[in-house]
Amino acid sequence: MSPDGRWRNPFLADSEYAIAHGFCDQRDSTHLTGPIPTSEESGKILQENDYQYEWLGPGHFGGLISGLYPDGKRTIWSNGREGIVKLDYETLEVLDTFSLSHEKPDELFSSHSDWETGVADLDDFTDEEKLIQSAISLATRFMTGLDGIYSLLDIDHVMYLGRKEGVVAYAERDPNSRYSSLFEKARWDKPEEIEGFFVGINMTPDGRIVLSTDHGWLISLSRDFLDYVAVQIPGAANQAAEHCKIMETEKGNTGYGWVRTSLCCDEEGGIYINSVDHLHRVVWNGKKFSFSDDDGAWSSKYRNGTGNGSGTTPSLMGDDPNKDRFVVIGDGDEVVNITLFWRDEIPDNWECLPGAPSLRIAGMGAANMGDSNRNSIQTEQSITVSGYGAMTVNNEPNFRPSWLPETAGRLLAFFLGHYPSFTPYGLHKYEWNPDKAEFNEAWVNKEVSSPNSVPQVSAGSNVVYTCGTRKGKWSIEVLDWSTGESIGYWITGDSRFNTLGAGVQLDNDGQVVFGSIFGKSRILRS
């Protein structure tokens, strides 16, 4: 347990971001103090000496920070569509790249000029239809068929990447040198009896990799790939295959499986995973998975009006076992509800909430962005959690041309969220009141936009950071975590700085770092 009371997995890299969403609890929050924009900075476009930027290629959304090397320095690891890249922690200079061309032998890899042209096309507002076609072209070429979105970096400087059909370990020739070249250390291919594609990765307290598939399989894998344990979570054997088949037919892709998201882990061996209409706590005891109540396992139904299930990775809330502790997801309703589940035993005097399908649900907050008449809003991003607060953002475009299919609407927010006609607005936070045992609305901000970013909270500064947009330019927005008021923002500029679904994070020195459409960025502020 760290000084801030948060459990940190001792087998992950000793840093603030060794796994997607930061820690095994998947909260997207840190105790570190982060920078605050001055009044003079807000409204001005950052100049080249105000930031670092490194072109990397498509799909470099996340960035994992290593532990310390013998020289006292760190590195940043990033997995993209075309390569695994290791960067200098301080400068973002590329130290080594491991090409993935052997993974995609029939694919024409991109060039630097392709990336620059793609960015320029996204910033040309002269013709709306042409602008949308540019976004579609980029999405089709660079973002379809992505796998390996989720990854983690362990204490030995080994990156584990969950691909659709297996797990790959990437390491350094000399793990004592930051400058050492990368290589593929090992590969574990999914056995035939395990159905579906891998969609999630995390690590249990004993240092084993835990993975999930869209067909509801849960796998515990040793880091040396010598042994594994695999089970189907409750309901998967009877429901998963048929559901995945129907969704692939209806949606045209495999992104709406029976399990759609990654998973989170606690310090007691608890693993939290969403199926299409249930949240499950499965317990790993070091040798096997347990679904038994006696071991603290449970399954709880959640609201699912869309039939698509939750699109958010579960996040943990609360650290003290003597106080209220929860698991947080966005449910599957037409208007998504930030939903709290009792993590431990349900209090004896607890009564089922109105409209809740399970006694285990401790709270439901409609993320309607302050519009009670809103008919639909879903989220594909993990709920941001800090303290007893939980927040989500609006990723639904403000406008969709009639000729564009509804299924393509999200593309407008992700690629063209800075285009004023499409810009979505809204961040919505709820908070648990332990004295009243109630989950109530804390605030709504209707003026700030967060089209696609995964926000992060700095508890040290009591602010939340996210990637937004201002007058056709991309920005990094900073809001007061307690009130939701905008404190300020940095205008980063063109579409190079579009996070495209990536998270805004603080590095170990409290600097703002984020992945973007074709690279990595850091704002140079203290």
Which of 395, 396, 371 has its CA nearest to residue 383? 395
487 located within any domain: yes
473 located within any domain: yes
124 located within any domain: no
20 located within any domain: no
435 located within any domain: yes
244 located within any domain: no
Which of 150, 387, 386, 393 has its CA nearest to residue 264? 150
What is the token pair recorded at 394? 């609006």
81 located within any domain: no
CA–CA gap between residue 365 and residue 433 (Å, rounded): 13
- Contact between 272 and 264 (Cβ < 8 Å): yes
Residue 354: what residue type?
P
Domain that holds residue 319: 315-493
103 located within any domain: no
Number of structural domains found in the chain: 1
CA–CA gap between residue 523 and residue 490 (Å, rounded): 9
HEC assignment per residue over 364-412: EEECCCCCCCCCCECCCCCCEEECCEEEEECCCCCCCCCCCCHHHHHHH
Residues in the chain: 526
CA 29 from chain center: how many Å? 12
Cα dihedral: 15, 26, 514, 120 (round 10): 150
CA–CA gap between residue 481 and residue 29 (Å, rounded): 11
- Contact between 434 and 324 (Cβ < 8 Å): yes
Q: Which phi and psi angles does 294 have, rounded to 5°?
A: -60, -25
CA 202 from chain center: how many Å? 12
- Contact between 65 and 423 (Cβ < 8 Å): no
- 210 sits in which H/E element: strand 209-213
Return per-residue pLDDT of the chain as tens, 526 residues: 565 789 999 999 999 999 999 999 999 999 999 999 999 999 899 999 999 999 999 989 889 999 999 999 999 999 999 999 999 999 999 999 999 988 888 888 899 999 999 999 999 999 999 999 999 999 988 877 666 678 999 999 999 998 888 999 999 999 999 999 999 999 999 999 999 999 889 999 999 999 999 999 999 999 999 999 999 999 999 999 999 888 888 877 657 899 999 999 999 999 999 999 999 999 999 999 999 999 999 999 999 999 999 999 999 999 999 999 999 999 999 999 999 999 999 999 999 999 999 999 999 999 999 999 999 998 888 999 999 999 999 999 999 999 998 878 889 999 999 999 999 999 999 999 999 999 999 999 999 999 999 999 999 999 999 999 999 999 999 999 999 999 999 999 999 999 998 999 999 999 999 999 999 999 998 6
* CATH classification of the domain holding 367: 2.40.128.630
